[in-house]
Amino acid sequence: MDCDPPFLVTYNTLLQNSLGETRNEKTSMVVERSSCELPLIDFARLNPHCPEREECMKEIVEAARQWGFFQVVNHGISQELLESLQFELMKVFHRSFHAKTQENFLNLPAKSYRWGNPSAINLRQLSWSEAFHISFPDISKMEKHKSLRSKIEAFATTAAHLAETLGEILAQKLNIKSGYFLENCSSFVRLNRYPSCPFSSKVFGMIPHSDSSFLTILYQDQVGGLQLLKDGKWVDVKPNPQAVIVNIGDIFQALSNGVYKSIKHRVVAADKVERFSVAYFYCPSDDAVIQSNGIPLVYRKFTFREYKQQTEKDVKETGDKVGLSRFLS
Ligand SMILES: O=C(O)CCC(=O)C(=O)O
Ligand SMILES: [Fe+2]
């Protein structure tokens, strides 16, 4: 399709090399497909009049400690909005690759559109996907694309509210002062498309990673492919059309002195169908100071700017972001 990024051409050498290796059965990726039931949190129980409110808050904290991943229903993002957002995503991603790479496409900064992994030195580092990264303030710049803009805006606004509520509940248990996130946050949305991939047994849709956020709110379509690392095994996160997925990011792991878990996850590529997802990253602002008050202290104090600079450097030099282990105290 002329909307697809030029994966085949750009990664021709990597792909050719690996075809040779497949015959020796060295590099074929064995994808385990066991699935797990993530904790399911019903946000309706957080209503101030609900007798189960305290219990629900406990479940959120336990899910963040033990899983780092959970699903939320009654999250306030309507089914209708999720469906129309998916429709808008299809329309925009199905524009030609050439159009998507143009300066000012959607009136967004040029670096908003990204695909693959320019520094991949082997297939394991290559993500067979494309994405738009849109900062919260940039959403309003898309004024000529009313329909797409209004759907992204509605999703991001409700996801922000959800993230703030979850942030406050999780922070309370750590004695982080109320309002910490409001003072220190800067967020963005990522629209993801995973084109069908003829090398799905060798290439990831998105390579294994943890998110650098406080927390992330994700909506995936019904195709499936998201997996998380649970007790050393990759397990499928089965799509649930009613739910959004919440995962703890690296920065909340650091703030919580390792109590809440930022779990590695990845997307397995599909060979026949395309897949879409939308993520809202609840992130610190660049100057936010990340410091836990836990004893003994697991991570040293750092700013989010330092964290981003270090991970960008590591990705460039090694293909892997390394992450929090660089910030041990
Ligand atoms: O598409 C998905 O299911 C996961 C996306 C993701 O992990 C990310 O955008 O960081
Ligand atoms: Fe992620």
Q: What digits encode the pLDDT tens for the residues 141-194?
A: 998 899 999 999 999 999 999 999 999 999 998 888 888 888 889 999 999 999
Q: Is residue 295 part of a domain?
A: no
Contact 327, 302 (CB under 8 A): yes
Flag the least confident range among 143-147, 226-230, 270-274, 301-305: 143-147
Q: Is residue 306 part of a domain?
A: no
Q: Amino acid identity of 93?
A: F
Entry pTM: 0.95
- pLDDT tens digits for range 231-268: 999 999 999 999 999 999 999 999 999 999 999 999 99
3-state secondary structure of 44: helix
Flag the least confident range among 30-34, 180-184, 201-205, 228-232: 30-34
User: How far does residue 298's CA lie from ligand 2's centre (Å)?
Assistant: 23
Distance of CA 64 to the CA centre of its chain: 16
Ligand 1 site-directed mutation target among 71, 204, 226, 311, most atoms within 8 Å of CB: 226
CB atoms within 10 A of CB 78: 11
Q: Is residue 42 part of a domain?
A: yes
If one counts the domains in the chain, the total is 1
Question: Given a cut of 60, is residue 22 above it in pLDDT?
Answer: no
- The ligand whose atoms approach the alpha carbon of 269 most closely is 1
User: How far does residue 250's CA lie from ligand 1's centre (Å)?
Assistant: 15
Give one word for 45, left, alpha or beta, with left for phi > 0 and alpha for psi -120 to 50: alpha
Q: Is residue 280 part of a domain?
A: yes
The answer, yes or no, to whether ipTM is higher than 0.90 is: yes
Q: Which CATH number does the domain housing residue 249 bear?
A: 2.60.120.330
Question: Given a cut of 50, is residue 230 above it in pLDDT?
Answer: yes
Q: Is residue 20 part of a domain?
A: yes
Q: Which residues are catalytic?
A: 275
Instruction: Report the pLDDT averaged over residues 205-226.
Output: 97
Q: 118: cis peptide before it, omega within 30°?
A: no
Q: Is residue 301 part of a domain?
A: no
Domain containing 30 equals 7-287
Secondary structure of 269-291 in the HEC alphabet?
Answer: CCCCCCEEEEEEEEEECCCCEEC
**Beta-strand pair 244-248/215-220:** antiparallel
Q: If pLDDT is split at 50, 70 and 90, which confidence band does 1 have? A: confident
> What pLDDT score was predicted for residue 29?
64
Flag the least confident range among 17-26, 89-98, 104-113, 179-188: 17-26
Residue that has been written with the tokens 């329909």 in this structure: 147
Q: Report the nearest atom of ligand 1 relative to the CA of 194.
A: 1
DSSP single-letter state for residue 220: E
Q: Is residue 77 part of a domain?
A: yes
Residue that has been written with the tokens 């964290």 in this structure: 307
Q: Is residue 87 part of a domain?
A: yes
> What pLDDT score was predicted for residue 144?
86
What is the C-alpha separation between 144 and 125, in angstroms, rounded? 36
> What pLDDT score was predicted for residue 256?
96
What does residue 321 show for φ and ψ, rounded to 5 degrees?
-80, -10
Q: Amino acid identity of 127?
A: S
Residues with CB under 6 A from ligand 1: 190, 192, 206, 211, 218, 220, 226, 265, 267, 277, 279
Q: If pLDDT is split at 50, 70 and 90, which confidence band does 23 have? A: very low
User: How far does residue 194's CA lie from ligand 2's centre (Å)?
Assistant: 14
- Mean per-residue pLDDT over the chain, rounded: 92
Q: In what order do the strands lie in the sheet with 226-230?
A: 34-36, 233-237, 226-230, 265-268, 204-209
- The ligand whose atoms approach the alpha carbon of 192 most closely is 1
Contact 167, 60 (CB under 8 A): no
What is the C-alpha separation between 237 and 220, in angstroms, rounded? 10
| CA–CA distances in Å: residue 3 to residues 99, 127, 309 | 9, 16, 32
